[in-house]
Amino acid sequence: MVSRRTELAAFGILAVITVIAAVILLHRHPADNPYLPKCPFHLLTGLHCPGCGATRAAFYLIHGQAATAFRYQPLFTVLLPVLFFLICRRLYELVFETTVKLPLELPLYRLIAVAVCVFFVLRNIPLECFAWLRPPDF
């Protein structure tokens, strides 16, 4: 089992990386930034992974354009508040050395996992009705 100290250090590193990424995205569009890599899964297979478009979606969210962010990555845009809440809850548990149990917590994690898998499959079906799930400029 991972120690409390190690997990707090991981949260700190994650926070620093998130701030650096946000600053980069605040000033440069992902398509114009040579330091942001292309999706290796998409480059190798031509398919869109569940995360394709998330960097562009984050760029548009940082700039207050939620509708455009949704267009680039609908799942990321919808799940971001949920993921933020779950991360904050875990951080609260670590800092105050307590356990916060959510009702339906395990079904929530399962629902997120199923949603990611279904999203992955649907966005790669080459039918026009699923085109809105794919990033527009790939």
What pLDDT digit, counting tens, does each position of 23-41 carry? 999 999 998 888 778 889 9
Does residue 30 sit within a domain? Answer: yes
Cβ burial, residue 51 (10 Å; 0-12/13-18/19+): middle
d(CA 67, CA 61) in angstroms, rounded, equals 9
SS3 call for 33: coil
137 has pLDDT over 80:
no
Segment 116-124 mean pLDDT = 97
Return the pLDDT at 4.
87
Return the pLDDT at 102.
84
Return the pLDDT at 84.
93
d(CA 99, CA 93) in angstroms, rounded, equals 6
Residue 104 confidence class, pLDDT cut points 50, 70, 90: confident
138 has pLDDT over 70:
no
Does residue 31 sit within a domain? Answer: yes
Does residue 96 sit within a domain? Answer: yes
Q: Which two tokens stand for residue 80?
A: 């971001």
Please give the tally of structural domains in the chain: 1
Q: What percent of the chain has pLDDT over 90?
A: 79
Q: Which domain holds residue 13?
A: 4-133
Does residue 138 sit within a domain? Answer: no
To the nearest whole number, what is the mean pLDDT of the chain?
Answer: 92
Segment 100-104 mean pLDDT = 86
Contact 21, 57 (CB under 8 A): no
Contact 119, 50 (CB under 8 A): yes
Does residue 77 sit within a domain? Answer: yes
Contacts of 92 (CB under 8 A, 6+ apart): 98, 100
